[in-house]
C-alpha cells in the first residue's frame, strides 16, 4: 500500500504520496510558516494528508523534521529553525486524527534511508549518509534499517571534535567538524577573512573559477571534512559513504578532492572498501525517506 512522507522544513512543508516502490505519485507543497506556531503548521499537514488519502489507500505516515527530536516518543524538542516550538508531540497530534502507524525522525536520518533504499546506497549492506548544508547531519542504515542509536542521536557528527580548542560556533564543541565544514562555517569564515557576503555558494563558485583565496578556503574545508570522514570510517567502516547537501552541490569538483584528502588518512586495509559517492536524490529525498521511516526504523 501507499505511504505518505512529510518533509517538515523551516521554510517549506512538503508531503507526497509514495507508491509501494516509493515512487512519488502525488506531491503537495506549501510554506511551513513555522513562525505562526505548531497548531497552524500541523493543520497544514493534516490537510495535505487528507488530500493524499482521498485518492489513495495509505498504510502509514512518516515525518522527517530538523532535530533535536525524540524519535521514540514522536516529539519535536527545541530547534533553532522553529522559534517558539517546544516539545511538540507531533506524532500524538496526528494520531488523534489518523489511525495509522506514524513515525518521526530527523531529516538527515530520513534522507539516509532514502539514499540507502532508492539512491546511491542501494544494494550495500551498510550505508553512511552525510549531508553538508547549513549544518552537518548524518544517518546510518544497516541492512535497510535505520540505526538511530540509544537516544536517536546517531549521526550527530557535526559535533565531532577534530581540533581541540579550535573554532567555536553556536552550541557546538570547540573545534567541532561543523565549525569548519558546514555551509554556515564556510560563509562565516569567508566573511571574516575576505568580506564576501555570499556564503558557501559564493566560495564554491569563486573556487571553481580559479580564485586562489577561495581555493585555499575550499582546501581547508575539504581537509576538515576528510578528517571527519576518516574518523567515521575507522569507527564503523561502512560499505558505502554517500555525501550530499547544498555545500556538496558541485560534487564533480569536490568529491575527487575529498577522496584525495581522505585516503591517506585510512589504514591501507580500508582503502579498497572506501566508496565515497554523491547523493542521488534531490528535493524528493526528504519525503521518500520520511515514508520509508514507517517500515525501516
Pick between residue 30 and residue 237 the one whose CB is nearest to its own copies.
Answer: 237
Q: Of the candidates 42, 208, 265, 280, which one interacts with its own copies according to CB under 8 A?
A: 265
Residue 231 within binding range of its own copies, rule CB under 8 A? yes
Longest Cα separation, the chain: 58
Cβ neighbours of 51 (radius 10 Å): 15
Contact region for its own copies (CB under 8 A) — 6-14, 31-39, 90-98, 144-152? Answer: 144-152
Q: Of the candidates 100, 237, 246, 249, which one interacts with its own copies according to CB under 8 A?
A: 237
Pick between residue 159 and residue 211 the one whose CB is nearest to its own copies.
Answer: 159
Contact region for its own copies (CB under 8 A) — 4-12, 29-37, 43-51, 270-278? Answer: 270-278
CA 13 to chain centre: 16
Whole-angstrom CA distances from 240 to 156, 188, 227, 237 are: 18, 31, 17, 9
Distance separating alpha carbons of residues 274 and 264, to the nearest angstrom: 12
* Residue 180, CB-side half-sphere exposure with 13 Å CA sphere: 26
Pick between residue 131 and residue 148 the one whose CB is nearest to its own copies.
Answer: 148
Distance separating alpha carbons of residues 254 and 2, to the nearest angstrom: 37
Residue 154 within binding range of its own copies, rule CB under 8 A? yes
Residue 235 within binding range of its own copies, rule CB under 8 A? yes
Site for its own copies in 92-131 (CB under 8 A): 125-126
3-state DSSP assignment of residue 278:
strand
Pick between residue 131 and residue 291 the one whose CB is nearest to its own copies.
Answer: 131
Distance separating alpha carbons of residues 242 and 58, to the nearest angstrom: 30
Q: Where are the beta strands (DSSP E) in 166-274?
A: 240-244
154 close to 140: Cβ distance less than 8 angstroms: yes
Contact region for its own copies (CB under 8 A) — 24-32, 38-46, 99-107, 232-240? Answer: 232-240
Where along the sequence are the contacts to its own copies (CB under 8 A)? 68, 77, 125-126, 138, 140, 142, 147-157, 159-164, 173, 227, 230-239, 265, 267, 269-270, 272-273
Amino acid at each position: 500500500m501507499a505511504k505518505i512522507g512529510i518533509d517538515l522544513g523551516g521554510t517549506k512543508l512538503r508531503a507526497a504520496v509514495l507508491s509501494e516502490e516509493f515512487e512519488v505519485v502525488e506531491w503537495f507543497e506549501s510554506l511551513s510558516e513555522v513562525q505562526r506556531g505548531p497548531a497552524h503548521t500541523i493543520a497544514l499537514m493534516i490537510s495535505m494528508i487528507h488530500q493524499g488519502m482521498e485518492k489513495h489507500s495509505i498504510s502509514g505516515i512518516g515525518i522527517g523534521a530538523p532535530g533535536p527530536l525524540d524519535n521514540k516518543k514522536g516529539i519535536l524538542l527545541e530547534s533553532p529553525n522553529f522559534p517558539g516550538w517546544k516539545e511538540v508531540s507531533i506524532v500524538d497530534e496526528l494520531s488523534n486524527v489518523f489511525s495509522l502507524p506514524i513515525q518521526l525522525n530527523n531529516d538527515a536520518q530520513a534522507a539516509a534511508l532514502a539514499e540507502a533504499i532508492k539512491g546511491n546506497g542501494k544494494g550495500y549492506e551498510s550505508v553512511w549518509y552525510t549531508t553538508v548544508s547549513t549544518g552537518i547531519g548524518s544517518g546510518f542504515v544497516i541492512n535497510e534499517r535505520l540505526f538511530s542509536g540509544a537516544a536517536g542521536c546517531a549521526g550527530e557528527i557535526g559535533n565531532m571534535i577534530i581540533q581541540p580548542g579550535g573554532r567555536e560556533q553556536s552550541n557546538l564543541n570547540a573545534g567541532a567538524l561543523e565549525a569548519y565544514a558546514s555551509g554556515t562555517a564556510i560563509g562565516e569564515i569567508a566573511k571574516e577573512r575576505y568580506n564576501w557576503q555570499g556564503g558557501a555558494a559564493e566560495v564554491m563558485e569563486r573556487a571553481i573559477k580559479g580564485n586562489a583565496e577561495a581555493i585555499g578556503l575550499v582546501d581547508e574545508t575539504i581537509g576538515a571534512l576528510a578528517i571527519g570522514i576518516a574518523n567515521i570510517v575507522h569507527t564503523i567502516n561502512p560499505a558505502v559513504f554517500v555525501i550530499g547537501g547544498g555545500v556538496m552541490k558541485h560534487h564533480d569538483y569536490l568529491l575527487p578532492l575529498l577522496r584525495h584528502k581522505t585516503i591517506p588518512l585510512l589504514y591501507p586495509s580500508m582503502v579498497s572498501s572506501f566508496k565515497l559517492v554523491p547523493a542521488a536524490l534531490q528535493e524528493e529525498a526528504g519525503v521518500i525517506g520520511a515514508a520509508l521511516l514507517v517500515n525501516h526504523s
